[in-house]
Structure 1
Amino acid sequence: MLATAVALLAAGCGGAGRLSGTGGDCDTSRGTLVVGLVAPLSGELSSVGLGMKNSADLAVTQANARCAVPGYHLAVQSQDDRADPATGAAAAATLARDPSIVGVLGPFNSSVAQAVQPVLGEAGVVQISPGSTATTLTRGANAVTAPLRQYQTFFRTVATDAVQGPAAATYLTRAEDKRRVAVVSDGKTYGEGIAEEFAKQLVTEGGEVAARISAPPGGDRARVVAAVAAASPDAVFYGGEYPEGGPLSAALAAAGVRVPVMGGDGVVNPGYVTAGGREGDLGTSVGPPPETLPAAREFVDAYRQAGYPEAIGSYGAFTFDAANVLIDSAVRTLGEDRDWSAALRPEMVRAVQGFHGDGITGPLSFDRFGDVSTDAVTIYRVQGGQWSVVGPAD
């Protein structure tokens, strides 16, 4: 259902005839349903957040064009979290107070997700993140020995760091023969989580953590560079995001530490290269490259035709899928003749939990923790001043 939706941006509705300008005439006599979005729409990570916002808008535009929810018009209400947990929590509270909200997409940052989860969980609002990958968000602090799903309302369409971190370590040791690695992380939820997962797998692969270094954003980069240099590693793994990862790579090279830097999906962004990322640096990202999937190519074409000024970004496709899961779940919750009310929020949660379908990023379903069932990871390398696909992690 989701894949076929991509081609329907300009399709007609053929309904009872109430709303024009959406590709046809639809009966919208029951009002408007709102899809909320919490993402970094300003600041250093705005290129990610704006791609998420536009992708959600595209999914909703297509849904309106095909009169997806009988009797209703769909609208996106976006909130800027500025990549800040407190701001994200306030944004989630604003959305949760709206009785027309059927669900919330986002956020991107795992640290923001930690703050948003309890707000939406208490309100019973289903939440699907297309970018928060910290394993603890769904499985708690003891993900292996005693996994615990604290928030039944939280789901995600991206694989966790428990998949991505080990994939990076396996690739670096086996394909690149880099076994002595300095592990640097930014101290935030995402960065610490993926760094720890990487370090555990590195040891399993017979490698060695040459140094474990904390590098909070805005901190003393010279100290970090000196610590890495003293460890004499074969490579550096950075747990964090591109605004800090790119300058770290440049600073290491300037100090004569010319080993490759590898990171997770937080660094696989054009901003990493413009901020100082070097040729040969490596990264992982969840899912296959969108351009390799037929349905995703249709999404990319529809996005371009829609004329959004910002790029799709690394998480646009996952946001598009998440939005369509919400829309499909609303259709199943309401059926042909039910009126929406906040009292139906628990049914929306159950509908998402039971979802099975084909998205543009691959098959979509959720396990008992709310994690997506697919676990594909792609390896990227900086070549010719941009991220290029190396291939699947396996």
Structure 2
Amino acid sequence: MKMHKSLRLVMGTSLVGLCLGPVRAQEVVTVGAANPLTGSLAAMGKDAENGARLAVEEINSSGLTIGGRPVTLKLDGKDDAADPRTATTVAQSLVDDNIVAIIGHLNSGASIPASKIYSGSDIVQISTATNPAYTQQGFKTTFRAMATDAQQGPALAAYAVDTLHAKRVAVVDDATTYGQGLADQFSQAIKAKGAEVVSRDATNDHTIDYRAILTRIKGEKPDVIMFGGADAGAGPFVKQAQQLGIVAKIVGGDGICTEKLAELAGPASRNVVCSEAGAALDKMPGGPAFKVRYEKRYGQPIQAYAPYNYDAVYVVVDAMKRANSTDKEKILAAMPSTDYKGVTGEIAYEPNGDLKHGVISIFTYVNGKQKLLTEMQPQ
């Protein structure tokens, strides 16, 4: 029997449709990333964004299906310049972009004001902020990527007294939410350990000339000087201390504990002891392999926060999978029960969003490179 050509075409098309089934549209899900991409913290901010972007690229390459639908992740990266006002503007812009979660902001001074906007929109926020106030606001949306200053400050103080045998300590901070907060925690812990805080000075995060402060501190003959701030300020501070003949060890937190510090301080960096609110990269379960992937992708070393933001993206995706949804409210509802084994270690949360499992790492610098001195369990 002869079949009309057009009928054969219709039947053939129908058979193809039956074989292939309905075509499912690709859903694009946007995750925000807010970091200082300009200004004095740009190196750390770009490092943090790079970590998140690497995770997004890997997830998309492997293929992601949520609720039976193929999903493509999109990273919406914005510059908050580490500025509180800019951070709130950026946060509202990201909310308007319909993000389902935010990885950031990098620093406490940006994260805390921005957190109010994300909370009002039921958007998960995973931040590297270490100031305790970030998760003490009563928001169900705030989660951490690393330990807090309430853990880091006492650990650094314990090392200063127990290992460096400090009895007289001078404290300087850059007056930021992060720098002042860490300096406060350190000072309280130093006094509790029986050492004396001989002076307390505040500058600002744009200061590059510390010679007047350091000259006066030199006359106080401290055993240790604590600098609360970021590497952009700590580099000149450490270098000028050496130029003035100050022999006291200079200690600081994760804000100064970067590869950039050694570039800025030069050989004087060997006099620095700094802490990170997490494990050393080589001690992280997935650290060495992550380092290889990161350096292959970006052609530069990790500064500090890339592995934490990398894990944060995977934690959000894990919540999506457990919620079987890309809806932001359902992702948020799944977050408290997170138990994810990432590059940085096991990630699970206390009711307020703090990490359950943490470690504080203490470093120094040898020939311009970080060297792990010890790891301490937060108290």
**TM-score if structure 2 supplies the norm length?**
0.88
Q: How many residues align?
A: 349
Q: Provide, for residues 25-70 of structure 1, a one-character-per-residue CA deviation record: whole Å limited to 9, x for no partner.
A: xx87142001110011122212211121121111112212232233
Aligned to 1:172: 160
Q: 1:284 to 1:28 in 2, by over 3 A?
A: farther
How far off its partner does 1:117 sit?
Answer: 0.6
SS at 2:271's partner residue?
Answer: coil
* AA of the residue aligned to 1:274: E
Q: Does residue 55 of the first structure (1) align with residue 51 of the second (2)?
A: yes
Residue from 222, 240, 243 that aligns with 2:232 = 243
Aligned to 1:266: 255
Q: Does residue 295 of the first structure (1) align with residue 290 of the second (2)?
A: no
Aligned to 1:254: 243
How far off its partner does 1:217 sit?
Answer: 2.8
Q: 1:75 to 1:243 in 2, by over 3 A?
A: same
Q: How far apart, in 2, do the equivalents of 1:150 and 1:357 lie?
A: 24
Q: Does residue 85 of the first structure (1) align with residue 75 of the second (2)?
A: no
- Percent identity over paired residues: 27
SS at 1:192's partner residue?
Answer: helix
Aligned to 1:8: none
Matching of residues 1-394 of structure 1 within 5 Å: 29-70=25-66, 71-99=70-98, 101-129=99-127, 131-139=128-136, 149-219=137-207, 221-276=210-265, 277-305=268-296, 307-333=297-323, 335=324, 340=326, 344-393=327-376
Q: How far apart, in 1, do the equivalents of 2:206 and 2:31 lie?
A: 35
How far off its partner does 1:290 sit?
Answer: 1.7
Q: How far apart, in 2, do the equivalents of 1:85 and 1:297 lie?
A: 34
Contact 1:171-1:393 at 8 Å conserved across structures: no
Q: Provide, for residues 3-32 of structure 1, a one-character-per-residue CA deviation record: whole Å limited to 9, x for no partner.
A: xxxxxxxxxxxxxxxxxxxxxxxx871420
Q: How far apart, in 1, do the equivalents of 2:370 and 2:318 lie?
A: 34
Q: 1:287 to 1:28 in 2, by over 3 A?
A: farther
Contact 1:33-1:72 at 8 Å conserved across structures: yes
* AA of the residue aligned to 1:284: S
Q: Which moved more, 1:286-295 or 1:163-172?
A: 286-295
Larger CA Rg, structure 1 vs 2: 2
Contact 2:109-2:176 at 8 Å conserved across structures: yes
Aligned to 2:9: none
Aligned to 1:24: none
How far off its partner does 1:89 sit?
Answer: 1.3
Contact 1:28-1:73 at 8 Å conserved across structures: no
SS at 2:269's partner residue?
Answer: coil
Structure 1, gaps ≥5 residues long: 1-26, 140-148
Contact 2:95-2:121 at 8 Å conserved across structures: yes
Q: Provide, for residues 63-116 of structure 1, a one-character-per-residue CA deviation record: whole Å limited to 9, x for no partner.
A: 1223223321111110011111111211111110123x2100011111011221
Contact 2:87-2:114 at 8 Å conserved across structures: yes
Q: How far apart, in 2, do the equivalents of 1:28 and 1:381 lie?
A: 54
Q: How far apart, in 2, do the equivalents of 1:309 and 1:353 lie?
A: 36
Which has the larger share of helix?
2
Q: How far apart, in 1, do the equivalents of 2:25 and 2:206 lie?
A: 52
Q: How far apart, in 2, do the equivalents of 1:294 and 1:275 lie?
A: 30
Q: How far apart, in 1, do the equivalents of 2:121 and 2:301 lie?
A: 33
Q: Provide, for residues 237-268 of structure 1, a one-character-per-residue CA deviation record: whole Å limited to 9, x for no partner.
A: 01101111111122222222221110000101
**TM-score if structure 1 supplies the norm length?**
0.84
How far off its partner does 1:346 sit?
Answer: 2.4
**Hey, which bits of structure 1, 4+ residues long, moved more than 3 A?**
none
Contact 1:238-1:261 at 8 Å conserved across structures: yes
Contact 2:285-2:345 at 8 Å conserved across structures: no
SS at 2:33's partner residue?
Answer: strand
Q: How far apart, in 2, do the equivalents of 1:158 and 1:323 lie?
A: 14
Q: Which moved more, 1:215-224 or 1:226-235?
A: 215-224
Structure 2, gaps ≥5 residues long: 1-22
SS at 1:324's partner residue?
Answer: helix
Q: Provide, for residues 293-317 of structure 1, a one-character-per-residue CA deviation record: whole Å limited to 9, x for no partner.
A: 3422222222233x21443321111
How far off its partner does 1:386 sit?
Answer: 2.5
Q: 1:28 to 1:203 in 2, by over 3 A?
A: farther
Contact 1:36-1:78 at 8 Å conserved across structures: yes
Q: 1:386 to 1:308 in 2, by over 3 A?
A: same
Contact 1:55-1:303 at 8 Å conserved across structures: yes
